[in-house]
Structure 1
Amino acid sequence: MSVQKRRSPVKTSRSSLLALAAAASAFAGEASAQTTSAAPASEPTALPPLEVTTANKQKKKAKASAKKVTAGATQSAAADASAGGGASAQGETKPGLNLDAPAGTGSRLGLSPLETPASVEVIPGDTVRDRGQTSVNQAVTQNAAGFTSTAAPGNGGSGLAARGFAGHGSVMQLYDGTRLYVGSGTVTFPFDTWSAERIEVLRGPASVLYGEGAVGGVINVVPKKPTDYFTHEAEVAVGTDATRRFGVGSGGPINDKLFYRFDASGIQSDGWLERESDFSSLALSGALTYRPTSDLNFTISHDHGDQSPLRYWGTPLINGTIPERLRDKNFNVRDSDVSYVDNWTQFKTEWSPTDWLEMRNVAYRLTSNRHWRNVESYAYQTSGPFAGRVLRSDYIEIFHDQEQIGNRFDATVRTPIGGGVKNELVVGFDVNSIDFLNRSNSPFAGTSSVDPFNPDPGWFGDKNNVPAVARVDSETFQHAFFAEDRLTLSKELTVVAGIRLDKVSLERADPNATPAPTYFEKDFSETSWRVGAVYTPVPGLAFYGQYATAVDPIGGALLSLSLTNSQYQLATSRQYEVGVKQSFWGGRGEWTLAAYDIEKNNILSRDPDNPTLTRQIGQQSSRGVEASLGLQLTDTLRYDGNVAVLEARFDEMIAAGGVDYTGNRPPNVPEQVVNSWLTWAFLPKWEAYAGVQWIGSVYNNDANTLKRPASTVVNMGLSYDVTDKSEIALRVFNVFDEKYATGGSSTEWQLAPPRSAELSYRIKY
């Protein structure tokens, strides 16, 4: 029997979507033209791990403040922040928490973290690069409070956990304020930090801003933008394991109306494992901004990413531990492959015809092509015919081909509403269409056994010659309407509220399902909202409270929603949060403190009266406290750090067979995370830094029978200013060679790299 896919509005919406994007951009340009014509022109302690990184230097603050940022560039930055992309002008962030920097991730009104009733952090790109954090995952987990990695080394390296919730279905990733939809639980772009102007982090539910899939938090990578002043930079580095990397970037005016930005970066390494350990990546980005008038910007940009990551899926446990002799072994096959190619193009229009009105439109297209061919499961055998050997299984080959086309439009109106009360309102819509094709050799048959201490890799085709065929062929059309309002009741008190209505239509076919092909359609409709207040009794000190709701997909990703899970609705959640933020000592110090309570309902659980039935009656919750501090102790000594302590549990969870997991902690969720960095400019032109990351123990499974111990990681660095515009730096990562795992299962752990070092030379002018 063949399955005929009924092409509903999802397919025909693509042309409508592109037409809508073009019309919105054309409308903004036309309206501006009319306006301007009328107007004048290791197995550690129970404490959480901290990773060390270099801090931005006082000299860099001086250089940043000396940069020429004109009124036009500043206006563009403010507009971009309120659009959700963060500030675009260079030099606006500084070492520390950046409580006064506009951050579009926490609000579409372009509020600073101090003005937002939520936990928002701004991580400067210079801080990330000074600390040698070359991946987005490193930058977030080593700098932001409470974030930890859940990513397998070979699976995109981008999964995160926050506030007790883990994975792409609960912690969302954005690029320049636009959401990247997840296909089968993998996000591979953006990955490199060289072109990042800043990384903005929002902790807690964010569905009111970005739709389903953000109960734990949001990460937004904001790229460097074209500027109307010249800036150029370059860096080369060499390190252990024959690691080489580079970065170049340039931006500035072409004429008085046209501005550019270009960045390129790459890395190549032989890797720390014995074989099949090499990895490489290349990232290219370019943007042009055309500013025909002071109130109108058109920006077109394109980003390209090409990755061949580490082809490592874990190290088998022997009697619950990993012997030192196994640390550098790779149990994958000789012809393993992991590759990702991502392309992102967007056209942005920003128009501010008056002081009280702003309009923005972003049209974009994203394509992702991914390939995996690996043996991914390893288990040491203590008995049977393979006793004393490692049994390998899951001979997996998967192809992902994904295209996402979308458009987002919003308008902000700032007007008084009487009695001196100020009001700011943003309204808009978001539409996108996604084609996703997953081809694989499922059900991933094939096994082999190898010597644990001298594994013979073999070839993939030795045990599995099954061709990859279409398993998921889905089309998703999503549209949303949103609004956010900020009411200034007095100089001290503001109220912020938002609402979003999401509608999703999904078609999925599995043309090669057995015993017969399958096809289904599913519609979702959800409303998310939040309301909060900020009280500022004195300048620089803000108390806030917030109530927010969110929704998450069942099974991790709507694009690959299974037929079984399609019968369920989205999981719902709510959060209460209170906190305080302060900038003090003339801006030399900043601190935040937040307490929250999150409850997630409608997760899958077995019926307690009939364990053979699965129902949406499960519940998961977390509550915790987070604190951050940035302090310039003296002109030469700086401290930055944060701590997150939480309690996460299943309030109601019954597994197959009636096994009750109620009261257990969800997997991959540590209950303590601490990051600390100390930077000391101990001599003229010299600076040293040290940092520690402590991560508490985590469970590998829902049953809480398998635990990975806590870890402590120390990083250190030393830099010397060769000239006022260049520096040489030596960095050592995992200084004490801690052996610790970043992920795992009941039979294997994914180990973090051992001690490594690099020497870099950077120039910026």
Structure 2
Amino acid sequence: MSPRSIAACLAVATCLAPNAAMSGPAAPDAVELDMLEVTATGAPAPRGLNLATPAPSASRLGLTPLQTPASVDVIPGAVVRERGQITVNEAVTQNGVGIASTASPGTGNSAFSARGFVGTNSVMRLYDGVRLYTSTQTFPFDTWNVARIEVLRGPASVLYGEGAVGGVIDVVPKRPTFTDVSEARVGFGSDYTRRVAAGSGGPISDVLAYRLDVSRNAGAGWLRPNGDFENLAVSGSLLYRPSADLAVTLSNDYGDTAPERYWGSPLVNGRVPRILRDTNFNVADSEIRWRDNWTVLKAEWSPSADLSVRNVAYRMTSDRFYRNAEGSAFLPATGLVQRSLFAEIRHDQEQIGNRLDATLRGDVFGLPSRTVLGAEVNRIRYRHINNRPYGGTDLVDPFAFVPGRFINLAGTAPGYENVVDQYALFAENRLVLTKELSLVTGLRYDAPIIRGADLRAGTRFRSDFEALSWRAGLVYQPRPDVSLYAQVATAVDPVGNFVSLQPAQKDFRLSTGRQVEIGAKGLFWAGTAEWTLAGYRIVKDNLVSAVPGQPGVGVQVGSQSSQGFEAALSLSPWENWRLDANLALLHAQYDDFSQTVAGRVVSYAGNFPVDVPERVANLWLAWAFAPRWEARLGVQHVGPMASDFANLLLRPDYTLLNTVLDYRPDPGSRLSLRVYNLTDEVYAAARGGNATSLLLGRPRTVELIYDVVF
């Protein structure tokens, strides 16, 4: 395929040319269809890094990644589904640069490591540009309704508040357009996996359009017993556009998932024997259930060419339930497995909020300027019901396993309730200094207030925090399709998730972070090939150290730093071939961190942070080897990680191979044979429920999927 042919395909996929992107975001009436775009050979249109496509998650100024002094990934939903990535976790880690999964049931099967920092307190999750303030992120989980995923790497508190030292991941769902489209999917796979999904959208009238997506997945799972899973996702939205300058969208997204009840496999001599790989040591009456509902009313009004106003009002409810034996340890003396941490927990949460901002365009001292001014408020009510302390143990035979029943020693009752009120003011500006040089700045002030109540002890507390975050970056474009940039940014992280803050943490200060980043990015071959390079250093202060013998108590000390290099490349090196690759190399360490262990102070300075890999790489190679046929090979490599502060428990690196073979009977349909973990590698996907266990990744599995657009 020639560069000219690829350029034509990119145009079909609505990727903007570099020169067009320089003038700002796409026109209000522009729509991006998530359809099965095909070339004359029947192969899907390549999409690349999307450097010239506006990325709202990285800036509210309507900038493209080329115009933004930061590292930004834009991952189209069509690419995600072509590569067989069923979950958001897979889509982010197998396509994003330097992002590794740290997911477990305790994090809602959705948590990430980015640039040396880990978890929901440092790597923020958004849905359609709005943050979900949860202690356990469980929605969204399915990629069927995803229009695109945007990843902003590095501090982002200036955009979204506390909790984004490592970066931000924004899942943008499909929304209504005034073009008719209907699509469906059916699939079957290993372990009785079944998948079915359908979506439809288009105009109801000249001023009203709709979108509806439903997906359901279920299966027996590869673990025995309690490895079965099922989930349902429903997304619906209405767009009212009475004129070109006004659009109002009402949407509701619902998710109900019951994942596999798996908290890890016990280590035997430092590893999990293959003979125990498929055994799930949870109890017979275990249960995990997550229900989320998300309602949003969004209004966008542009009364003039120089002014745009946006308002987003939302309400989210989450109901989560856990009843599991979360810990397991192999006892060499007896050859038995001891189970522990019998925990029954329910989360009940409601979040209500509103964000209002205005974009102003004009001149400052004769220089073109674009400014966003805004305010955000929200209230979160979070109730935690539990059976603390999570006691109880029993012994099971790993080779003649009988699941047994849940042990509840303390009884389950309401534990605590927190109410969090958050207020924020923010501003962004882009000032065009010369034709080639622009200055992008941002400022945000946050004032969260936490009111906590211990429902058992009858005590209450209040904590007031303040945080000021800022960033400033220069972008130099010697050519319209090449950018060189430098940025300085600050961020704040909470001492724990605000919604679950404990009395022992109420007087802690916010952890603070600062980053320096330089980079370059560009397009070549008439915009059909794209590349990015970035180098950075981040320092985070005010870490928290536990006090032994006093659960939930700690002191605030220390610092952590990371520095690294990231690169990405997307191109078509030969006719009918497409290559997408990225690499992240990282050195992260505790600079000043210690704990008192067995009566003596132990320093962890110089050690690797927990759950942080020092290298992450992805490669996707696509080959349209015949008319209507295309093969894909994905390679995902994640370096070794530490499971403890002392770095005595290390998880080895792993490399996964995923393959896809597509056949297109006609331009609107695709039959895909997918093989995950082709080499059947046994690998640790995350830490287990305790220090003596590991969560293993799935073995080799096969699925056959049929997609159709009509």
1:629 to 565, 569, 579: 569
Q: What do the CA deviations read for 1:71-100 (whole angstroms, capped 9, x no partner)?
A: xxx9996669xxxxxx96336996211000
Q: What do the CA deviations read for 1:370-402 (whole angstroms, capped 9, x no partner)?
A: 00000000001123xxx2100000110000000
Contact 1:79/1:350 (8 A) holds in 2: no
Q: Which residue of 2 aligns with 1:411?
A: 358
Runs of 4+ in 1 over 3 A off after TM superposition: 57-67, 74-80, 91-94
Q: Distance in 2 between matches of 1:111 and 1:433?
A: 30
1:227 to 177, 197, 209: 177
Q: What do the CA deviations read for 1:154-180 (whole angstroms, capped 9, x no partner)?
A: 641101000000111000000000000
Deviation of 1:444 after TM superposition, in Å, equals 1.1
1:528-567 aligned within 5 A:
528-555=469-496, 557-567=497-507
Q: Distance in 2 between matches of 1:59 and 1:322?
A: 51
Q: Which residue of 2 aligns with 1:140?
A: 92
1:617 alignment partner AA: V
Deviation of 1:349 after TM superposition, in Å, equals 0.6
Deviation of 1:62 after TM superposition, in Å, equals 7.3
Q: Which residue of 2 aligns with 1:763?
A: 708
1:611-690 aligned within 5 A:
615-657=555-597, 658-690=601-633
Contact 1:88/1:224 (8 A) holds in 2: no
1:401 to 328, 335, 348: 348
Q: Distance in 2 between matches of 1:343 and 1:614?
A: 35
Q: Distance in 1 between matches of 2:509 and 2:15?
A: 54
The answer for unaligned runs of 5 or more in structure 1 is 1-56, 68-73, 81-86, 608-612
Contact 1:76/1:297 (8 A) holds in 2: no
SS in 1 for 2:205: coil
Q: Distance in 2 between matches of 1:752 and 1:530?
A: 38
Deviation of 1:216 after TM superposition, in Å, equals 0.3
The answer to which structure, 1 or 2, has the higher relative contact order (CA under 8 A, 6+ apart) is 1
Q: What do the CA deviations read for 1:25-48 (whole angstroms, capped 9, x no partner)?
A: xxxxxxxxxxxxxxxxxxxxxxxx
2:113 to 161, 166, 189: 161
Q: Distance in 1 between matches of 2:133 and 2:108?
A: 14
1:523 to 461, 464, 473: 464
Q: CA 1:497 to 1:520, structure 2 compared with 1: closer, same or farther past 3 Å? A: same
1:282 to 227, 232, 238: 232
Deviation of 1:605 after TM superposition, in Å, equals 4.1
1:120 alignment partner AA: V
1:376 to 285, 303, 326: 326
1:720 to 632, 650, 663: 663
Q: What do the CA deviations read for 1:703-748 (whole angstroms, capped 9, x no partner)?
A: 1001011101001110011111111110100000000011125311
Contact 1:257/1:290 (8 A) holds in 2: yes
Q: Which residue of 2 aligns with 1:263?
A: 213
Q: Distance in 2 between matches of 1:197 and 1:283?
A: 15
Q: Which residue of 2 aligns with 1:392?
A: 339
SS in 1 for 2:93: helix
Q: CA 1:712 to 1:722, structure 2 compared with 1: closer, same or farther past 3 Å? A: same
Q: What do the CA deviations read for 1:602-658 (whole angstroms, capped 9, x no partner)?
A: 112489xxxxx9543310000000000001223400000100000000000011231
Q: Distance in 1 between matches of 2:432 and 2:531?
A: 24
Q: CA 1:248 to 1:153, structure 2 compared with 1: closer, same or farther past 3 Å? A: same
1:487 alignment partner AA: L
Question: Does 1:422 find its partner at 2:368?
Answer: yes
Contact 1:79/1:358 (8 A) holds in 2: no
Q: Which residue of 2 aligns with 1:314?
A: 264
State the TM-score, normalized to the length of structure 1: 0.87
State the TM-score, normalized to the length of structure 2: 0.93
Q: Distance in 2 between matches of 1:64 and 1:88?
A: 10
Question: Does 1:706 find its partner at 2:614?
Answer: no
Q: CA 1:685 to 1:735, structure 2 compared with 1: closer, same or farther past 3 Å? A: same
Q: What do the CA deviations read for 1:236-293 (whole angstroms, capped 9, x no partner)?
A: 1100000000121111111110011110111000000121111011000010011111
Q: CA 1:75 to 1:496, structure 2 compared with 1: closer, same or farther past 3 Å? A: closer
Q: Distance in 1 between matches of 2:571 and 2:454?
A: 56
2:417 to 473, 488, 493: 473
Contact 2:623/2:630 (8 A) holds in 1: yes
1:487-526 aligned within 5 A:
487-512=431-456, 516-526=457-467
Q: CA 1:588 to 1:89, structure 2 compared with 1: closer, same or farther past 3 Å? A: closer
1:182-331 aligned within 5 A:
182-183=134-135, 186-331=136-281
Question: Does 1:336 find its partner at 2:280?
Answer: no
Deviation of 1:518 after TM superposition, in Å, equals 2.4
1:352 alignment partner AA: S
1:58-73 aligned within 5 A:
64=13
Q: Distance in 2 between matches of 1:593 and 1:132?
A: 27
Q: Which residue of 1 aligns with 2:550?
A: none
State, as a whole percentage, how many aligned pairs show the same letter. 51
Q: Distance in 2 between matches of 1:401 and 1:504?
A: 20
597-606 or 518-527, larger mean C-alpha shift: 597-606
1:145 alignment partner AA: V
SS in 1 for 2:94: helix
Deviation of 1:321 after TM superposition, in Å, equals 1.4
Deviation of 1:480 after TM superposition, in Å, equals 0.2
Q: CA 1:78 to 1:459, structure 2 compared with 1: closer, same or farther past 3 Å? A: farther
Contact 1:154/1:309 (8 A) holds in 2: no
Q: Alpha carbon RMSD of aligned pairs, Å?
A: 2.1
Contact 1:79/1:110 (8 A) holds in 2: no
Contact 1:141/1:148 (8 A) holds in 2: yes
Residues matched between the structures, number = 681
Which structure has more helix as a fraction of its residues? 1
2:131 to 179, 196, 203: 179
SS in 2 for 1:107: coil
Contact 1:154/1:338 (8 A) holds in 2: no
Q: Which residue of 1 aligns with 2:523?
A: 583
